[in-house]
Structure 1
Amino acid sequence: MKLNIVNFTIFLFTILSFSQTKSYDDQMKWMKGWTNFDPNHEDYPEAEEKLPNIINTDSYLSNDVVYLMSGNVYIIDNATLTIQEGTIIRCDTEDASSLVVTKGSRLIAKGSKTLPIVFTSNNTKRSRNPGDWGGIIVIGSGKVNAATSKTVEGNFLPQYAEYGGSREDENTTEMSYVRIEYAGKKINQSKELNGLSLYALGKNSILHHIMISYSADDSFEVFGGSANMNNLISFKAKDDDYDFTLGYTGMLDNILAIRHPYISDSSGSYAIEADGYDPKSGLDATRILSEIHIKNATLINLSDISNYKFTTAAISSKNMAKLNVTQSRISGFANVVLFDTSYTSYTDLENKFLLENSIFNVHGPTVIAKSQFATIGNIDQLLKYNMYTKHFQAVDNVFVDPFHRKHPKFTIKDSDTYTVMQ
């Protein structure tokens, strides 16, 4: 039988895509051993020692002590705080507490698969809530594209809140096998802290195997800098899972975002929000816009036919950010990507956005662009090198065991319901 070239190409693409998907399922074994998808039932030991609010000399936290962080703790004067694997830091819910690593200082928090480092609420089990405490703020001297104010968000001492510079090679922090639970405290209507805020980190910073659960704002927010990251988990954040702005340029590999359709910020929340720059800070014309490369992402909204109408797009791209996403899976959202009005032509979209060799399952238009040109042509063609479900599928029809309380499994099910964008 003679095989049509177009059909053969589609067939070959399908085989390659599923081959890479199965390979990625194998890679997801990196989640085993150190994660906790049910932290509200974890019976953490009581805190024994309070951290000082100023750390100005090299210091070490040992895992044979459970620490209490009460009020903001600042690492200053080029000091390094080293945290031993298996250490637990309980965070005060009454006196708003955050760990602030100031410019020139360093945080070395290197847990292990069997002994992760845990930052969590000081409330007892079954009474912990998103926003119980502030979060972790790491401030570097790398590049940002802000034209004006360069102080971190939140009510922090101004002498310790400045960020940014020209030290692109700086090793600002080393974090691995770290869990951050119930952070993201809301200060006021316009100021909310994230689980982990990374400001202008140098490219020699090391961040991998980090899980952020139940953040009341973003899980990860990255303000400029050029640090690459991998093996990251955001679990049921109220706002964005991964937020990039101020000219961040870097690569993320193996990231997981698990959202719930009933958990969202009033302004709209996304698995990925990419900002080319922050309009509130203005754009330094000598600096570049954000350029983010993401490989092996699994972005899931735990929706089904009864609640999918509460979902938003998986990705929000704004202010001419450039975003490349490959070998990934997007499921349960209203749309794949939402573009703001800064993208004024189809050429802008082609030059600034790529989704390739991926699978998606959404219930609305795949691409939404707010500019007037959006009605011209078929903007769905942006996604032509991907596969999609013929009809919207509930999350448990797509993934093996996504609702298991302690050990959810996000392996994609074998299915004949996928087709190739043409």
Structure 2
Amino acid sequence: MKLRCALITSILCSFLFFNTTAQDFNTNDGKWIKGWANFTPNSTEYPEADEIIPNIITEDTHLSNSSVYLLSGDVYVTANAILSIQEGTVIRGDHENPGKLIITKGSKLIAVGSEAYPIVFTSNKASKSRASGDWGGIIIAGSGKVNSVSGNSVIQGKINPQYAVYGGNKHEEQTTVLKYVRIEFPGNKSMGSENNNGLSLYGIGQASIVDHIMVSYSGQDSFSFSGGQNNITNVLSYKAEDDDFQISEGFKGDLDHLMAIRHPYINSPKGSYAIEIDGYNKDQGFLKPNAVSDVAITNSTFVNLSDNSNYIHTASAISATNSALVYLHNSKISGFSNVVKFDESYTSLAVLERAFKMDNSFFNIHGEGVEVSYKPNTGVLNILKYNRFTKDFVSVDKLFEDPNSKTAPKFQLKKAMNNYMVMQ
């Protein structure tokens, strides 16, 4: 922490205050999680399943909230079929025969819950015995643009090859409609399974709707966006083992009201980030350099629930690789080692400044702020200017109003914004 402060002071830190009329991003920024999110899913009692979902669905099918469904083994929705799910429906993932719900290219998932009656995908285990990775997760393959040489790609992992292709030229496609959906305890890692994330969107089309989605206790990533283009809003990742939001293969979109709540003792051995963004897949090449992953993130909160006794276990909030582009606005980052880590594809300060922009935001970290591969790295903290920050690392409970609430965590700062320093 002392090194970071010294570096900030010597390079570009000015202990100035924003004008009191500056935008206040710290007001009512968590209201959207109230009423439908669940921060104690292991204690929630769900009724036993009374109907099994077939493993192959080839015609339009509707799941009613009058039944509770068991998802056992991999369930494929194929032949352009539409699977629709009524609000308030509960689907329980089998932990003995862990599977996934796979919406193949051309088919569609329409799962529209409500604030009062969200749709819930959860573990089939009894309450207080559920754990991260009890079942697989949800995979949706679309026909949107993918930044690969062929314009298509293949879902990796344990999945039937004939259903694994995604991508194409149907950029306006409505691949899926998801509203008020909770996905609890997904991310199974048994038998070498890969990409069993909470919600994986492959080649999603622009007309898709992804709004008010919560993934909790995923054994792998909570959300994965591979290729495609979409504006996504009100999505929450809670205590994932791997990344909260994994973005790759040229995905483009405006991401508004993202929330990631991590814990310093819940991590993947290979490293876990709130945002892991990859410009393109190095194994498949890219269609053109300007088609790399490119996101604008606004009104978002990325918090690791760390304090002075355990913050050493945290990594950077954001990992950027293979020339990915990120713009972060009106957001908060707290409890991580650094704001952002760049790989070797970012070769100079000029490259960093073109690839990463952050403004009107706040950060509370214990590292230097920016991690790069190239040397010398003089001036890299320049990319954090025009943002407020804490002089020294502050524990989560001292920084925020009610960060550990089990009903609706609050991440409003206890002190007014003008009490914090600003990069200038």
User: Is the partner of 1:313 in helix, strand or coil?
Assistant: coil
Aligned to 1:16, which of 22, 46, 49?
22
Give the corresponding residue for 2:47: 45
Match of 2:108 among 106, 109, 117: 106
Question: Does 1:405 pair with 2:406?
Answer: yes
| Secondary structure of the corresponding residue to residue 22 of structure 2 | helix
* Equivalent of residue 135 in structure 2, options 121, 129, 133: 133
Distance 2:197 2:232 in 1: 17
Q: What is the CA–CA distance in structure 2 between the aligned matches of 1:12 and 1:113, rounded to whole Å?
A: 37
Q: For 1:254-275, what per-residue CA distance to the aligned partner results, in whole angstroms no more than 9, with x for missing partners?
A: 0100000011111111000111
Partner-residue secondary structure (3-state), 1:39: coil
Deviates most, 53-62 or 149-158: 149-158
1:195 maps to which residue? 198
Contact 2:18–2:422 under 8 Å retained in 1: no
**Contact 2:29 2:299 (8 Å CA) reproduced:** no
Where do 1:70-81 residues align within 5 Å? 70-81=72-83
Which residue matches 1:214? 217
SS at match of 1:253: strand
Structure 2, unaligned stretches of length 5 or more? 1-13
Shift of 1:188: 4.4
1:285 shift after superposition: 3.2
Aligned mates of 2:169, 2:405 — CA distance in 1: 46
What displacement does 1:190 show?
7.0
Inter-partner Cα distance in structure 2 for 1:271 and 1:93: 27
Contact 1:253–1:297 at 8 Å: present in 2 too? yes
Q: Do structure 1's residue 319 and structure 2's residue 325 form an aligned pair?
A: no
Q: Pairwise CA RMSD of aligned residues? A: 1.8
Native 8 Å contact 1:144 1:287 kept in 2: no
In the superposition, relative to structure 1, how do residues 312 and 27 fare at CA in structure 2: closer, same or farther (>3 Å)? closer
Asked if structure 2 preserves the Cα contact closer than 8 Å seen for 1:345 and 1:373, the reply is: no
Aligned residue type for 2:309: S
Q: CA deviation at 1:417?
A: 4.3
State the alpha-carbon separation in 2 of the partners of residues 145 and 336 from structure 1.
27
Aligned residue runs from structure 1 range 343-362, under 5 A: 343-362=346-365
Q: Give CA-to-partner distance per residue, 1:131-182, whole Å, 9 cap, x none.
A: 1000000000001112367211221111111101011000000000000000
Letter in 2 for 1:65: S
Note the C-alpha offset of 1:187. 4.0
Conserved in 1, the CA contact under 8 Å of 2:33 and 2:408?
no
Task: Say which structure, 1 or 2, has more relative contact order (CA 8 Å, 6+ apart).
Answer: 2
From the superposition, tell whether residues 388 and 9 of structure 1 become closer, same or farther in structure 2 (CA, over 3 Å): closer
1:177-192 matches, cutoff 5 A: 177-189=180-192, 191-192=194-195
Aligned equivalents of 1:135, 1:20: Cα separation in 2: 33
Rounded to whole Å, the distance in 2 between the matches of 1:337 and 1:263 is: 19
Secondary structure class of the residue paired with 2:341:
strand
Confirm or deny: 8 A CA contact 2:25 2:299 kept in the other structure: no
Structure 2 CA distance for aligned equivalents of residues 286 and 263 of structure 1: 35
Residue 164 of structure 1 is matched in structure 2 by 167
Query: Structure 2 vs 1, CA of residues 389 and 288 (structure 1 numbering), >3 Å: closer, same or farther?
Result: same
Query: 8 Å contact 1:97–1:133 — kept in the other structure?
Result: yes
Establish whether residue 235 from structure 1 lines up as the match of residue 238 from structure 2: yes
C-alpha contact (below 8 Å) 2:29/2:412 kept by paired residues:
no
Contact conserved, 1:153 with 1:193, CA < 8 A, in 2?
no
Q: Distance in 2 between matches of 1:380 and 1:27?
A: 27
Correspondence 1:269-308 to 2 at 5 A:
269-285=272-288, 288-308=291-311
2:246 & 2:20 partners in 1: Cα distance?
Answer: 31
Equivalent residues of 2:26, 2:412 under 8 A apart: no
Displaced runs of 4 or more, over 6 A: none
- Matched residue count: 410
Query: Matched residues in 2 for 1:101 and 1:187: separation?
Result: 21
- Aligned twin of 1:260: 263
CA shift for structure 1 position 378: 1.8
2:168 partner letter: G
Residue number in structure 2 paired with 1:4: none
1:246-295, CA deviations, whole angstroms, 9 ceiling, x for partnerless residues? 00011100010000001111111100011101112222337711111100
Q: Distance in 2 between matches of 1:186 and 1:281?
A: 24
Is the partner of 2:154 in helix, strand or coil?
coil
One-letter amino acid of the structure 2 residue matched with residue 96 of structure 1? P
Distance between the aligned counterparts of 1:251 and 1:184, measured in 2?
A: 25
Q: Using the alignment, how far apart are the partners of 1:366 and 1:157 within structure 2?
A: 43
Percent identity over the alignment is: 50
Q: Hey, what's the Cα distance between the residues in 2 that align with 1:237 and 1:113?
A: 23
Residue 11 of structure 1: how far off its partner (Å): 3.8
Unaligned runs of 5+ in 1: 1-7
Match of 1:154 in 2: 157
Specify the code of the residue in structure 2 equivalent to 1:91: G
How much does 1:399 deviate?
1.0
Q: Does 1:89 align with 2:95?
A: no
Displacement after TM superposition at 1:62 (Å) = 0.4
CA distance in 1, matches of 2:33, 2:288: 41
More off after superposition, 365-374 vs 70-79: 365-374
Task: Say which SS state the counterpart of residue 355 (structure 1) adopts.
Answer: strand
1:251 and 2:257 aligned: no
* Residue in 2 that maps onto 1:5: none
Following superposition, the deviation at residue 12 of structure 1 comes to 4.0
**1:113-132 maps to which residues of 2 (within 5 A)?**
113-132=115-134
